[in-house]
Structure 1
Amino acid sequence: MPSKSRLLIIALLLLAVLGVASVVLLLRVNNIFDSVNDTNKTSRAGVFSPVNASDVLPTRLAFPPSKEPAVYVVSDEVINPSTTSVDPSTESSTTTFPSTEATTVFTPTTVATSPEKPTFNLNECRQRVGNLSKSQCPNDKSPIKNAWLESSENHAALTTVNTAEHYDLELRINSKDENVIEGSARIYLRTQNATSTIVLHADRQISDIFEERINVYSCETGAQICMHSMTRLFDQQLLVISVNEEIPQDTLLILEITHFETIIPYNAALFTQKPMPWILGTYFEKHGARSVFPAVDEADNRATLALCLTHPSEVSARGNMPIISTESMIDLKKTCFDETYAIPASQYGFVLFDDLIATESDTSQVDVYIGKHLSNPDAKWIISEVETAIKKMTELTGMPLSVPKLSVISSLIDVDGTHSQGLIILKESWIEYPKYALTYTILIQEVVDQWISNVFTVCNTAQSSFCAQEGLATYLEWVTTAEFKALNRSARSRFDAARQRAIATKVERQRLNFGNVFTPEMECAERAAITFFMLEDLYSREAMARFLKDIFAKYGNKKCATLEELGDSLAVATGSPVAREMFLSYAQNEDYPVINVNHQSGSSLVIDQQQPTNSTPYTVVVELLDDTLKKSTHKIDGNQAAQASNAQFVIADPFNKGYFRTIYNPENYGKIAACIKSPQGCVIDTKIIKGVFTDMCWALLEDRLDTKDSPQIPVWHRLFAEFSDIDKSYFPGDCNCCINKRSVAGSHCKWTWRDKCSRLALANNS
């Protein structure tokens, strides 16, 4: 056993070896960092104080310059033989580390820089209103260059300059005979870019806005921003304010307009009714808020509104939200409403009225106010039907009614109905005759709009022939109205009628007696509604319910949805990208597709679509039915669909589920005609066959039948001859005259032949 003295000697030797090793290690470190002060060597965590890499490391080990200040973490680890690339701006060489040595490696890490200053939010800004400070502004009237002052109808969207986040609005009407509304507004705006310009909508009905009545403040500092000039562009309905300094992007501003006046007579955004009952209300849905108060009046801009109305004391007031306070004055009353949700300015609204019968209930979300003079003042049926519609819309969208109370008010308004958040104005004649199906349709449409356009909006598009937002509302009205079984108006029947209107020519619309009723706005909305229902037919009501819940969850009360985003949601809800392709193809084109079906009996089938000028191919799902009653489905886009066929003939879209027309080759028409004339009768329903020949007649009168090859023309003429002994009901309108020249003997066909048929490429002159 070793003695104690021997163990002591061994321990001392080990300590000496460790001491020498430590000295060697320190010398090596000092050789590398000979320019670093002792105070900068290490901290308790082994991290150097922030310094530049080029000051610390030899040139060949320097890190490339970083945009962020860096610190260097010291870590001891064994490095395997490797080659380290060097910043080419310093030296083109490599450094090889021995595999057996412990080497100090310096790893850059980003310093936690001080966070960016948080954006000043609206609540903070509103709390500072009492601490705003005015400045002594210079009287500088030197000319300035401002693109917004150039007279142009095609100005940019106001939301590219500034967006409104909140309005504090006070409006005052002193008597029922008054022709002017006095107002003041405090508008909270956020700049979208660095700018020296503030732009609002203000139509010519708004007057008495002067520079001395306008103040601009920075929310962050409370300091006034001096104004250079104020310009009204009446043709563009703009109020342009130029300031003396450039305001940074994302700055929250307070714009005060201490007084303005709004003219009531001939103001399209207001409706009035005198003398009994007296009513004054807003009609912002179609005409916007810009005719009543200055605003960023664009559908893409959502802002909250706190409204106070001062009005004659004998008058009642209703607004978007419930009343939160009233104040009595001499002959006047001030009524203030709870703050709205963030909605477009076109969805703000109010109604002042007297002498209406109120049907109110604490247990219902619906209040009704109708005229005493109506023969049917009982409004309980309105409450019942509106509650049913609210329940259905909540079920479909997954979102409840956005307001605590919904007020329905009757008026002699010159439209069937209008709405804003929490308010529905209904033409009183419809209320007086509640048994009319159209009364329910109009009422339910206005209830649906409490979700569409209030909660959910579609971004403005350049496409004027496909109104997605209005079309979605129309589709939902079809679905909701179908809940009222007594009306016997299914969503399918509404689609069929809308489809017939949408594909009809002007002549057909006159023949079908809806030419004067079918407005461009209705056509635009119904094109989109037809597309939504077509997708429901293809994928199921459940898939569309998933789509609705998805878009309301993503965009409801938030931001507008683009057409592409709607398409994406459809693809997710249906589980098929075809749904997206179909929707966008209809949304991005101005008409409807024409499908060509070339069927050779017992041989082949080719399906494609006619390609109009300046349009992109549609994506269409076509169902085919053949003479054996066999069904098949085909996706048609920009490419042909071809396959073998053993059938005698085929019929596309036999049940009119698609939004398109179909044209066939002469042989297929001939086989269908033979089926009609068969002694055993045709296996295909007469209604389906009439649909085939209705499309053929349209194509004939529009010169859309295939006549590219001259030899084809006699083939068509022989086909028309085969039609001579088929009942005329298969060939509607002027078509019968044009396919059968022998019918010219009749006085009607004589003039039709001269004016129309003789000019067609397939005129049968034989």
Structure 2
Amino acid sequence: MPPSKNSKYVFASIATALFVFFLFAILIVLLVRNRDASRKILNEAQYNISDSSTISQTAIPDTRTTTGDSTTWTTVRPEQESFKSDGRTTQIYLPSTISPIEEITVPTRSLHVPHCDIPSTYESACPSIKRLSSTNGDQNGLIHAFDQIRQSSVLLSDTFRPVEYALNLSITDKNQNILGGSLDLLAEIVLKETNTILLHAGGHVQFPDDGKFTLWECANGRLICVNSITRLTDKNLVVISLSESLKPGTAIRLSIDKFESEIVGNPGLVVQMPSKWEKDRAWIVSTHNNHANTSRFVFPGVDEPQVVAALKLCLQHPKDTFARSNMPKESSSDSSDGHATTTCFHESPNIPAQLFAFVLFDNLKQINTNPNTSRPVNEKTTIETFVGKHLHNEDCQWILDEASQTLNKMTSLTSMQYPLEKLTILSTPIPTDGTRALGLIQLKETWIEYPKYFFPHSLLVSQVVQQWVSNMITICDKCIQEGLASYLEWTVTSAESISDTQSNNISRRFHETRNRLLHSESAVRTNMASLSINSLKPTTNRCADRTALVFYMLEQAYGQQAIANFLAVLFLKFSWGRCINAEELSLAFRSVANADGVFESFLDQSHEMVDDYPVIHINFANSSLVVSQDIDSSNKTYVIPVEVVDDARKISKVLLNDTQIAIHRTAAYVVAQPNTYARHIYNVENYAKLVDCVGDRGEDRCPSISRDSLANTFNDLCWALLHNRLNEADKTTQWRAVFERLVAHGNVVQGDCACCMEKQGAAKAQCRWTWRDRCSKITLLNAI
């Protein structure tokens, strides 16, 4: 039976609907692919992965294994070692005025694969770029935008995030004062739509008029015209105005084909150019990576510590000089005229721009390993060391020994292998003690010459430690980052017996730093020395010192294994990623220790709290021990572990917050262990018992109290007296007896404290002004 007209109509309608649905599905797929194109390009550039690879939380660069003429790519998983090598290291000997220098090269590990490269055949139809100053009249309303930038704290990373720098730098003559360069930058637009690109570029960076700025939009493969280039010299910024706006998530490649940086006087460079008659001095041009915001004076980019990106660096330099950078050398070639060499390095992992580093040098001597030493071998990493020509090989072996010891110890502490095949250590004329760039350490040349002192050893260990802290991970709060590095340096030098002196003992360094810091903070609070002037020693970074004390305090309270687990969590979760904030640090510590509130109460807003510490009251009488905390006018309270020991060596550990803790205890006296960053104040009855522990036979009478504990006890007593914190005015007779006995011992209390404790102190010439200015204002002394 033939189909009716109605059935034919129904079949035709269904076919039409299916066809329209099919076209609509194709359109959706195309739109989704276009939306994801920028992100795919950025992921491939940043992690060097294919579609079949998996992006791990920790970005670990790929490795390449070469067998004969074939090459295979392998994605390294997180459980594998970063930057795996196939073990074949080539030694190339180059000519030198001193001795052959061993060049460390490795098989190509992650050959730079171009992503979103600007086609060489493209034809630009863009008008010429306007070169403006921030004071020029501009019809596009940029001046108003410039005023807004000046009036605010600009974070370039809020709108523009670099992913990869391809940087070429050139200095072809040793007397040249210009470092030439070009930059190819892969980046992403983030957060909000914009028609301007901001880069950091200090006053030492210039853009010649014949230089080109080219911007390529990656997903659609098209050119975006640059309308104008404007310098904001007071903000160290260059503003690139575009012909159209870019949406968030857009991947772009920005090419600057020419810029120039002045060498002499550049705060981002270290320069030593010896005269002709200084034949033994080295010629050196290097980056100065010890401070933030210095890379902007060498090359344009985003110079913010929380922004990390990969670096692909090539250096053109005089043929009779040598080049080192963060990464091992990948290739080198001579120029056609034979006067210059171009050295290219492997692509780095993601690190801040301020840690992009290089050194160009000649006339330095390489230290060779003494085969007769029992130096611990690091099988993965070769350590190369360059020092001044006048130093002897045997006098510098300690650098190789201690650097290798530190590499091994840090691997154990962090559960993270050092990621590079080489670590370069150089003696250079840097204005600071040392720099900590990944794979490239510079030490001040004067310190290298005095290994009998402890500081050069501490400095070297510190810089190696910061290969992990500052490079593999970065912490947003630089005070915490520097303090963690200091604590780890204390740990390594103590555990490895580096520079076999008493100075390397971690407990000793904790107490010295604690006393110095508490004394200096007393002076800051009162605008005068609370103790004798001789007891005050300046510290270069009180905030970092305070943080190091807190980490040691946490180790003493929760154990070394808790700290090791904490470090393992940090490096597993955050290696080569963005900076870690204080909340994430606190959560990481809570995950390995039952320490709710301790970490954050000391380390949140660390810069604002640099002069703050808890004051703990310990009242022990009639078998009752009561521990409480002073609450100051700001209502700031701490969560702090307190460890109290008695004459029978019985220890009580409490976690103190804003409430007091009462414990029944039968003992003659108690004293707090000096392993916390706090001051401890006791009642007069307990002080009277502790005075018996002073003197020649004090150790026999009080074997449970260490000398450090006793010294800290009476230092804190002096602080409490001079700051009017002893409020037991109804016990004047007992206080007078304690003071008289302490003064009679002669060396227990000194300075202003001794003057105020002595009844006849007001009549003594050396104490007269102290009594008038300080002692007469103390409530307890007036009552006595």
Tell me the equivalent position of 1:189. Answer: 187
Instruction: Indicate which of 320, 326, 340 corresponds to 2:348.
Output: 340
1:325 to partner: Cα distance: 1.9
1:460 to partner: Cα distance: 4.0
Change (3 A) 1:139 1:724: closer
**Cα pair 2:625 2:663 within 8 Å, conserved:** yes
**Cα pair 2:729 2:783 within 8 Å, conserved:** no
Instruction: Indicate which of 712, 723, 729 corresponds to 2:739.
Output: 723
Q: Which amino acid aligns with 2:715?
A: T
Per-residue CA deviations over 1:617-641 (Å, capped at 9, x if unaligned) read 2110111223454321121112222
**Cα pair 1:599 1:650 within 8 Å, conserved:** no
TM-score, scaled to structure 2: 0.77
Once residues 209 and 197 of structure 2 are traced to their aligned partners in structure 1, the CA distance between those partners, rounded to angstroms, is 15
Tell me the equivalent position of 2:455. Answer: 438
Change (3 A) 1:632 1:399: same
Instruction: Indicate which of 355, 366, 372 corresponds to 2:363.
Output: 355
**Cα pair 1:673 1:723 within 8 Å, conserved:** no
Tell me the equivalent position of 2:302. Answer: 296
**Cα pair 1:585 1:616 within 8 Å, conserved:** no
Say whether residues 1:143 and 2:140 are aligned partners: yes
Say whether residues 1:425 and 2:445 are aligned partners: no
**Cα pair 1:40 1:49 within 8 Å, conserved:** no
Instruction: Indicate which of 115, 129, 132 corresponds to 1:126.
Output: 115
Say whether residues 1:117 and 2:123 are aligned partners: no
1:185 to partner: Cα distance: 0.9
Once residues 151 and 510 of structure 1 are traced to their aligned partners in structure 2, the CA distance between those partners, rounded to angstroms, is 49
Change (3 A) 1:290 1:695: same
SS in 2 for 1:729: coil
Once residues 427 and 576 of structure 1 are traced to their aligned partners in structure 2, the CA distance between those partners, rounded to angstroms, is 40
- What are the residue-to-residue correspondences of 1:34-73 with 2, within 5 Å? none
Tell me the equivalent position of 1:77. Answer: none
* 470-479 vs 206-215, which moves further: 206-215
Once residues 138 and 311 of structure 1 are traced to their aligned partners in structure 2, the CA distance between those partners, rounded to angstroms, is 33
Per-residue CA deviations over 1:379-410 (Å, capped at 9, x if unaligned) read 43322221111111111111121222111111
Change (3 A) 1:590 1:201: same
Structure 2 unaligned regions, length at least 5: 1-8, 46-113, 131-137, 275-280, 370-377, 524-528
Once residues 477 and 208 of structure 2 are traced to their aligned partners in structure 1, the CA distance between those partners, rounded to angstroms, is 29
1:377 to partner: Cα distance: 6.7
SS in 2 for 1:764: helix
Change (3 A) 1:668 1:49: farther
Instruction: Indicate which of 749, 754, 764 corresponds to 1:736.
Output: 754
Once residues 305 and 605 of structure 1 are traced to their aligned partners in structure 2, the CA distance between those partners, rounded to angstroms, is 60
**Cα pair 1:662 1:695 within 8 Å, conserved:** yes
Q: Which amino acid aligns with 2:202?
A: D
Once residues 480 and 403 of structure 1 are traced to their aligned partners in structure 2, the CA distance between those partners, rounded to angstroms, is 20
Change (3 A) 1:686 1:719: farther
Change (3 A) 1:765 1:40: farther
Q: Which amino acid aligns with 2:516?
A: R
Instruction: Indicate which of 315, 319, 328 corresponds to 1:313.
Output: 319
Q: Which amino acid aligns with 2:487?
A: Y
Once residues 133 and 640 of structure 1 are traced to their aligned partners in structure 2, the CA distance between those partners, rounded to angstroms, is 77
1:451 to partner: Cα distance: 0.9
Once residues 372 and 49 of structure 1 are traced to their aligned partners in structure 2, the CA distance between those partners, rounded to angstroms, is 82
Change (3 A) 1:445 1:246: same
1:584 to partner: Cα distance: 4.3
**Cα pair 1:602 1:648 within 8 Å, conserved:** no
Tell me the equivalent position of 1:199. Answer: 198
**Cα pair 2:761 2:771 within 8 Å, conserved:** no
SS in 2 for 1:693: helix
Change (3 A) 1:681 1:325: closer
Tell me the equivalent position of 2:259. Answer: 260
Per-residue CA deviations over 1:489-518 (Å, capped at 9, x if unaligned) read 2222222222222212343687456624x1
Once residues 209 and 362 of structure 2 are traced to their aligned partners in structure 1, the CA distance between those partners, rounded to angstroms, is 34
Tell me the equivalent position of 1:639. Answer: 659
Tell me the equivalent position of 1:470. Answer: 482
Change (3 A) 1:491 1:137: same
* 184-193 vs 374-383, which moves further: 374-383
Q: Which amino acid aligns with 1:340?
A: S
Tell me the equivalent position of 1:660. Answer: 678
Once residues 508 and 692 of structure 2 are traced to their aligned partners in structure 1, the CA distance between those partners, rounded to angstroms, is 31
SS in 1 for 2:299: coil
1:347 to partner: Cα distance: 1.1
Change (3 A) 1:379 1:300: same
* 500-509 vs 416-425, which moves further: 500-509
SS in 1 for 2:470: coil
Identity %: 33
1:764 to partner: Cα distance: 3.5
Once residues 499 and 285 of structure 1 are traced to their aligned partners in structure 2, the CA distance between those partners, rounded to angstroms, is 25
* 130-139 vs 379-388, which moves further: 130-139
Once residues 627 and 218 of structure 1 are traced to their aligned partners in structure 2, the CA distance between those partners, rounded to angstroms, is 75
**Cα pair 1:571 1:579 within 8 Å, conserved:** no
Q: Could you say what the CA RMSD is over the residues aligned between the two structures, in angstroms?
A: 3.4
* 361-370 vs 378-387, which moves further: 361-370
SS in 2 for 1:753: helix
Once residues 317 and 168 of structure 2 are traced to their aligned partners in structure 1, the CA distance between those partners, rounded to angstroms, is 11
**Cα pair 1:278 1:353 within 8 Å, conserved:** yes
**Cα pair 1:509 1:515 within 8 Å, conserved:** no
Q: Which amino acid aligns with 2:682?
A: Y
SS in 1 for 2:410: helix
- What are the residue-to-residue correspondences of 1:490-529 with 2, within 5 Å? 490-505=505-520, 506=523, 507=529, 511=533, 515-516=537-538, 518-519=539-540, 521=541, 523-529=542-548
1:360 to partner: Cα distance: 5.8
Once residues 378 and 728 of structure 1 are traced to their aligned partners in structure 2, the CA distance between those partners, rounded to angstroms, is 45
Once residues 262 and 531 of structure 2 are traced to their aligned partners in structure 1, the CA distance between those partners, rounded to angstroms, is 41
1:648 to partner: Cα distance: 5.2
Change (3 A) 1:404 1:264: same
1:754 to partner: Cα distance: 2.2
1:218 to partner: Cα distance: 1.0
**Cα pair 1:360 1:366 within 8 Å, conserved:** no
* 639-648 vs 226-235, which moves further: 639-648
Once residues 491 and 178 of structure 2 are traced to their aligned partners in structure 1, the CA distance between those partners, rounded to angstroms, is 43
Say whether residues 1:396 and 2:413 are aligned partners: yes
Tell me the equivalent position of 1:286. Answer: 291
How many aligned positions are there?
657
Say whether residues 1:713 and 2:726 are aligned partners: no
Once residues 682 and 388 of structure 1 are traced to their aligned partners in structure 2, the CA distance between those partners, rounded to angstroms, is 39
Once residues 577 and 715 of structure 1 are traced to their aligned partners in structure 2, the CA distance between those partners, rounded to angstroms, is 39
**Cα pair 1:595 1:607 within 8 Å, conserved:** no
Change (3 A) 1:749 1:336: same
Q: Which amino acid aligns with 1:304?
A: A
Once residues 410 and 561 of structure 2 are traced to their aligned partners in structure 1, the CA distance between those partners, rounded to angstroms, is 14
**Cα pair 1:128 1:222 within 8 Å, conserved:** no
Say whether residues 1:454 and 2:471 are aligned partners: yes
* 567-576 vs 184-193, which moves further: 567-576
1:549 to partner: Cα distance: 1.0
Say whether residues 1:371 and 2:396 are aligned partners: no
1:556 to partner: Cα distance: 0.9
Tell me the equivalent position of 2:639. Answer: 619
**Cα pair 1:164 1:302 within 8 Å, conserved:** yes
- What are the residue-to-residue correspondences of 1:4-23 with 2, within 5 Å? none
1:474 to partner: Cα distance: 0.8
**Cα pair 2:617 2:630 within 8 Å, conserved:** no
Tell me the equivalent position of 1:487. Answer: 500
Once residues 471 and 272 of structure 1 are traced to their aligned partners in structure 2, the CA distance between those partners, rounded to angstroms, is 30
1:49 to partner: Cα distance: 7.9
1:545 to partner: Cα distance: 1.0
Once residues 397 and 561 of structure 2 are traced to their aligned partners in structure 1, the CA distance between those partners, rounded to angstroms, is 32
Tell me the equivalent position of 1:85. Answer: none
**Cα pair 1:499 1:659 within 8 Å, conserved:** yes
Tell me the equivalent position of 2:165. Answer: 167
SS in 1 for 2:222: coil
Per-residue CA deviations over 1:574-618 (Å, capped at 9, x if unaligned) read 244355455546847333433342525216443222223446321
SS in 2 for 1:611: coil
1:269 to partner: Cα distance: 1.4
Once residues 531 and 355 of structure 2 are traced to their aligned partners in structure 1, the CA distance between those partners, rounded to angstroms, is 34
